[in-house]
Amino acid sequence: MIYALKLLIVVSVVACVAGYMFRSAFRDIFTPAEYKRIWQTVLLGVLLSYLCQIPAVFLVAIGVLGLWSASATGRGPAGKFAIYVLLACTLPPISVTVGGFGGINYVLQLDHRRILSIVLLGWAAVEIMSTKASPRSSKSLAIDILVVAYQCLRIGLIVPHATYTTLARAAVEAVLDILLPYFVVTRGVRSMADLRLVCGHLLMGLAFAAGVAVAEALLQHNLYSGLQTVYGIHWQQTYALMRGSLIRVQSITPQPIILAFMLLYGLAIAYWLKGQQWRRPSVLALFAAIAVAEVATFSRGPWIAAVLIVLALVAMRRLPGNAFRFVLVALLIGGVGLKFAGADQQVLDALGALFGSDQSNIASIEYRRQLLDTSLALIKQSPWLGVPNYAAHMQDLKQGEGIIDLVNSYLAILLDAGVIGLTIYLLPFLIVLNRLISAIRRPDPAASQTGNRFAMAFSALIIGCLFAIFTASTFNIIPVLLTLLLSLPTAWLALPLEERNAAGARADLELDIPDDPLRRHAWAGGRLS
């Protein structure tokens, strides 16, 4: 308990410092009262994380916190989803396994995201279905079908060798982690103000996670991994991962690479919401915190993904849409061509020169090469719908923990669902990416800045994330983030053109109402006169 209190004090100080430093950066997104309420929610989440000590108590408390915060926020389904993403990015991976009975191993693993999905997104879904809304555009129908089809295919392929409990568990997890968030965003986000609300909460959650990561880099101590002892659970094999003599920061996540993946969203969303104001000290501090935290994870794949995001943003400001598409296709063909041309060793040498040639770096890169070669050999034997019992053929790839770590999401999908599954999985991202690129108004990028910046930010984010999952497994919060990567642009594309280009800023800022109550009184008198 004493150890938990020490960690609580440090994290609380970090949260307060971050809240103070970044307050001006969010001034045109939230009113001072809204900003204060959001940081109160974050601080209450921190207190519950360190003081509950029993996983079940923690999850119940988080459910109550989510309901209270959503009620205080208002704004319908968009407000509920905003609280969902805020808490998803600011709470540690404390979970409870709902035990089985009568030979059933376990029923379901519940963490804070699934609890919030049940209580907040379930509530939002009921609101959406009970509200008579205007007819939706048919443009998103193909994406809807593909998202549902992939989940159905994935579950259908395990039917021959799965129990009814396993099938039910897979279905419930798909609904809570993928389908319900997708439904609430695509049907519940109906204006630019709603989009800014959701993305503003997400950015604030990522700002907190980045602040904790910066503190970990300075202190050389992980601030949340010690909760495993407090709660008597394990979410990682060791309490800290190192790169040489430096600790790899991970903030509220169970692994550094997950934090690094999360921070990619911070980079893109900050570009959309705050890119024009990057010279302001508070905005510059926000970008700096995200960048420092990203670097301190020492996660090579997300590093490259972050560079790709920046390069994509630069290219989209200078290239016509078709030229940008051509560059993307050429790079993809070039990357695949290197593999089939047998240039593995040259690529390994280049990566070693880029990231260092110490034994741990070389071993990690070599493991990924062996995983790719072994997986491709298996996929050739059964390419269309996956490889049954593929783990039995990959025993030589077992790690020290006794697991086969599929640190490549594309290979995992190919092994599970084959080329058909991978095609269905990727098509929604490619459709959305193509539509976003088409939505960027050229040749004058300065025209319609709000719409252009959103389209460019999420186009770049899709490109970066599709590369990042080549180097990482899709687990923990990553499936939720990938669902956001589809659903937020889909919601934006469904808006009328004039609404897409609306600023969606605070109403009081559109009227230039001062924050200072004394000045506000004088302003009101001037308006009335």
Contacts (Cβ under 8 Å, ≥6 apart) of 470 = 301, 408, 409, 410
The conformational region for residue 248 under phi > 0 = left, psi -120 to 50 = alpha, else beta, is beta
Task: Write a three-state SS string for 274-313.
Answer: HHHHCCCHHHHHHHHHHHHHHHHCCCHHHHHHHHHHHHHH
Mean pLDDT score across all residues of the chain: 87
pLDDT higher at 41 or 349:
41
Res 518: pLDDT:
52
Instruction: Classify each residue of 260-289 as buried b or exposed e, where b means 16 or more C-beta atoms within 10 Å of its C-beta.
Output: bbbbbbbbbbbbbbbbeeeeeebbebbbeb
Q: Which residue has the tokens 């700096």?
A: 288
* Rg for the chain, CA atoms, rounded: 23
Which segments of 358-512 does DSSP mark as H helices, in order?
Answer: 359-381, 409-439, 449-468, 478-493, 497-500, 507-510
Mean pLDDT value across residues 96-121:
83
Mean pLDDT value across residues 241-269:
94
pLDDT higher at 192 or 240:
192
Res 336: pLDDT:
81
Q: Which residue has the tokens 């950066």?
A: 25
Rounded to whole angstroms, the Cα distance separating 428 from 202 reads 22
Mean pLDDT value across residues 53-71:
96
Return the amino acid letter for 476: N
DSSP string, 140-209: GHHHHHHHHHHHHHHHHHTGGG--HHHHHHHHHHHIIIIIHHHHHHHHH--SHHHHHHHHHHHHHHHHHH
pLDDT tens-digit readout, 189-202: 999 999 999 999 99
Mean pLDDT value across residues 215-244:
88
Res 507: pLDDT:
45
487 within 8 A of 180, measured Cβ to Cβ: no
pLDDT higher at 260 or 514:
260
Mean pLDDT value across residues 78-92:
97
Mean pLDDT value across residues 8-33:
94
Res 177: pLDDT:
96
pTM for the structure as a whole: 0.91
The three-state secondary structure class of 223 is coil
Nearest to 456 by CA among 287, 271, 320, 261: 271
Rounded to whole angstroms, the Cα distance separating 62 from 214 reads 25
Res 348: pLDDT:
65
Taking each continuous run of H as one helix and of E as one strand, the counts in the chain are 23, 4
**Which of the residue ranges 167-176, 333-342, 377-386 would you say has the lowest mean pLDDT?**
333-342
Q: What percent of the chain has pLDDT over 90?
A: 63
Return the amino acid letter for 351: L
Rounded to whole angstroms, the Cα distance separating 81 from 85 reads 6
Q: How many residues does the chain have?
A: 529
Res 394: pLDDT:
83
pLDDT tens-digit readout, 403-456: 777 788 999 999 999 999 999 999 999 999 999 999 987 655 444 477 789 999
List phi, psi (to 5°) of 386. Answer: 95, 175
Rounded to whole angstroms, the Cα distance separating 125 from 106 reads 27
Mean pLDDT value across residues 22-27:
92
pLDDT higher at 354 or 277:
277
Res 309: pLDDT:
97
Res 406: pLDDT:
79
Q: Is residue 134's pLDDT more than 90?
A: no
Res 444: pLDDT:
53
Res 217: pLDDT:
96
Q: Is residue 39's pLDDT more than 90?
A: yes
**Which of the residue ranges 34-43, 130-139, 241-250, 334-343 would you say has the lowest mean pLDDT?**
130-139
Q: Is residue 74's pLDDT more than 80?
A: yes
Q: CA geometry: angle at 451 spanning 448 and 457, to 5°?
A: 125
Give the pair of three-digit tokens for residue 35.
Answer: 């900003």
Rounded to whole angstroms, the Cα distance separating 379 from 370 reads 14
Rounded to whole angstroms, the Cα distance separating 47 from 460 reads 36
pLDDT higher at 123 or 370:
123
Res 359: pLDDT:
65
Return the amino acid letter for 35: Y
Q: Where are the domains of the chain?
A: 2-320+358-507
pLDDT tens-digit readout, 464-513: 999 999 988 898 999 999 999 999 999 999 998 888 877 665 545 444 44
